[in-house]
Amino acid sequence: MTDPVIDLTQDLVRCPSVTPHEAGVLNVLDDFLSGTGFSTERIVFKDKNTPDIENSFIRISGGDGPHLTFGGHVDVVPSGDETLWTHPPFSAHIEGGKLFGRGTSDMKGGVAAFAAAARRFVEEFGAPNGSISLLITGDEEGPAINGTKKLLDWAKDKGEKFDAAIVGEPTNPEKLGDAIKVGRRGSQSGTLVVKGVQGHVAYPHRAKNPVPELAGLVATISARELDQGTEFFQPTNLEFISIDVGNPAWNIIPESASARFNVRYNDLWTKDKLTTMIEEQIAKAGDTEHFQYTIEMEPDVSQVFLTRAETLITQMSRAVEVITGHVPELSTGGGTSDARFIKDYCPVIEFGLVGQTMHQIDEHIEIADLVNLEAIYFQFLCNYFSA
């Protein structure tokens, strides 16, 4: 008899739920949990210039105790050239102790592990003295507009209150048990624009070329050390990711040039402080007499945060140690996740599978890790609802 978590993961992976397509994946999850007392509400969120997204809120309650929620996404990135895959990306093929398929690591395996652990907990102990819920979206790999953020608002309007949350992203860099994420650096994008005077290439004295001016500023800002990190966070880094002029002609000096950048920042910085820093670099290194400069900051992508809920962290750390024998590191590394939305409602930590192959050709997970992750979540549920 196959372990339920393996079967569920395969069933989820076989749904080609590339953002924004649901592809039947929510039905698979609902069917797995519905027979043990979990109720499901399916909600479609819409917004202008974005695809409609179907989300699922799955919940069971057995008393007035704490409400633990699990945040997860069942959408996946495109598979790329499928001929490069050893096994078809949505076949969920098992070979050599590994389960192959798009989304196995990021993060259908994590969703399946928590769902299986929650069902096992209810089957063995009955409904918890409190509530277990799953916030499941199909918009994490996409714009993240019609997913978790709106689902949290919807739940709040219904009167739901969350006491703690787990996000099942693949947090472990090398082996299961390496790390629990207890925070994330912030992410801020922006564009630096330099405006000069357009002119003929043969008469540069009649123009003011913004391209070398911008290139010099990019080099200056890129060379600046922003900080050396803090107690809980790695150093802030600012990376320019494109320089754009939009000039198809060979004989025109353009009027303006722009450079797009992204900053991953720690708790020493805010959006306003980053803007001020760039303005200071322009004042020092820019030719403010001949050029105009504009800094266009995008709406906040993700603010820096740190979870300090010691009981929650300790309960997960103990569960990880019991199952794997490893004491996990408390980490704030990596990119962004839907934890950036959940943090505004309750303390949140992240723990999931090994993420070495996420988004890659031949994405896969170790079967042993999947089974152990379900065991960790089950142990955590026992710790959490017995405390």
Average of per-residue pLDDT values in the chain: 96
What pLDDT score does 299 carry? 86
Domain co-membership, 127 together with 239:
no
H helices present in the chain, as ranges: 4-13, 25-34, 109-125, 148-157, 210-223, 271-285, 310-324, 339-342, 367-386
Considering the candidates 140, 169, 267, 374, report the single residue annotated as catalytic. Answer: 140
Q: Residue 213 belongs to what domain range?
A: 186-297
pLDDT digits (tens, 9 = 90+) for 324-363: 999 999 999 888 899 999 999 999 999 999 999 999 999 9
Considering the candidates 11, 30, 54, 75, report the single residue annotated as catalytic. Answer: 75
User: 296: which 2 tokens?
Assistant: 């266009």
Q: What CATH number is attached to the domain comprising 91?
A: 3.40.630.10
Domain co-membership, 196 together with 266:
yes
pLDDT digits (tens, 9 = 90+) for 210-238: 999 999 999 999 999 999 999 999 999 99
What pLDDT score does 336 carry? 86
What pLDDT score does 1 carry? 58
pLDDT digits (tens, 9 = 90+) for 25-34: 999 999 999 9
Which of 266, 297, 328 delimits the end of a domain?
297
Domain co-membership, 79 together with 151:
yes
DSSP 206: G
Domain co-membership, 52 together with 169:
yes
Active-site annotation holds for 174: no
Q: What CATH number is attached to the domain comprising 216?
A: 3.30.70.360
Domain co-membership, 116 together with 259:
no
Domain co-membership, 51 together with 107:
yes
Q: What is the mean pLDDT of residues 78-94?
A: 97
Domain co-membership, 63 together with 140:
yes
Domain co-membership, 159 together with 206:
no
Alpha-carbon distance of 22 to 225, in angstroms, equals 43
Q: Computed from CA positions of residues 106, 109, 111, 114, in that sequence, does the dihedral angle turn out positive or negative?
A: negative
Q: What is the mean pLDDT of residues 199-206?
A: 98
Domain co-membership, 51 together with 81:
yes
pLDDT digits (tens, 9 = 90+) for 125-148: 999 999 999 999 999 999 999 999
Which of 297, 313, 340 delimits the end of a domain?
297
Q: How many domains does the chain have?
A: 2
Active-site annotation holds for 366: no
Which of 297, 320, 341 delimits the end of a domain?
297
User: 316: which 2 tokens?
Assistant: 């997960």
Whether residue 301 is predicted with pLDDT greater than 90 in this model: the reply is: no
Whether residue 387 is predicted with pLDDT greater than 80 in this model: the reply is: no
| % residues pLDDT > 70 (the chain) | 99
